[in-house]
Amino acid sequence: MPKVVLITGASSGIGRTTALLLAKHGYIVYAGTRTPGNFNAKSENLHVIKLDITDSESINSAIKTIVQEQGAIDILINNAGYALVSTVEEVTEQEMFNQFNINVFGIFRVCKEVIPLMRQSNSGVIINISSFLGKVGLPLLTFYNSSKYAVEGITDSLRYELSDFNIRVHSIMPGFFNTNFAKGNLVVNSSIDADNPHYGQLIANLVPNIIDQINAGNNAQEAAELIRKMIEDPSAPARATTGDKASKFISMRRELCDEDFERRVREHYNLNG
């Protein structure tokens, strides 16, 4: 029997590419998105389904539809997310909440509904799409960083919690990928401007650098292939990196003490003033 996959945030980037790849390889894929009409791709095994991970009713409705049509959800890929660019000093309460509502609470909501199905079938795979910035801090991305650090914690804890039910839990930590992330998935606080009286120099040094690295990043196909490999390998590691930046920085993070690592990051991103 083909395995049934649910992918959140599947309208673009890594989510979309993974949905198409898995459908091509015989998986029955439900590509969850708030805007199903924008997916614009057809495959015999691909079903585009409306899914808003901030809305429990939307989640319940989508999962009910999948179970009615397929009887199970074998694989969950928590991919939906975005990055808030802001200083801590100038962020709004709503911006803080929105960042965690999607990147963290959304994972909890979907897992809460999918885990019982996997537990009943005594099998399953959950893959959380995190980021190398779930292990590496950067200024102006404090809220995104902390949300992805939380995703790493969710992954670690769920691995213990679900192991007795033969449910594997993993995280993928991408670096920068040449998707529409810089255009569609960066939300910028209104204070992020080179004329900012307190952080102008930091903003001028870092933001264009980050955007350039995203636009020159790896192809999303690389991440999709890693996700497929992780699904199909019962002995896959708890987490894996994909993309040049992730491999470089995660390796350095393991090898260096905190102070030396911070010095390297400062030099790489021109953060020394």
Catalytic residue check, 3: no
| Separation CA 224–CA 172 (nearest Å) | 10
Of 3, 11, 30, 149, which one is the catalytic site residue? 11
Q: What angle do helix axes 13-24 and 220-232 make, rounded to 10 degrees?
A: 50
Cβ-based neighbour number of residue 118 at 10 Å:
23
Q: Which of 12, 27, 86, 144 is catalytic?
A: 144
List the catalytic residue out of 3, 135, 148, 245: 148
149 is catalytic: no
Radius of gyration for the alpha carbons in the chain, expressed in angstroms and rounded: 19
Contacts of 59 (CB under 8 A, 6+ apart): 51, 52, 53, 109, 110, 113
Catalytic annotation present for 229: no
Task: Please pick, among 12, 86, 130, 171, the residue that the annotation labels catalytic.
Answer: 130
Distance separating alpha carbons of residues 34 and 99, to the nearest angstrom: 17
123 is annotated as an active-site residue = no
Residue 84 CB neighbours (<10 A): 24
Is 174:223 a contact under the CB 8 Å cutoff?
Answer: yes
> Cα(236)–Cα(46) distance, rounded to whole angstroms?
25
- Structure tokens that stand for 105 in this block: 């609470």
Alpha helix ranges (H) inside the chain: 13-24, 56-70, 93-100, 106-121, 142-162, 181-184, 200-215, 220-232, 244-255, 258-268
φ, ψ of residue 196 in degrees (nearest 5): -55, 125
Residues belonging to the active site: 11, 130, 144, 148
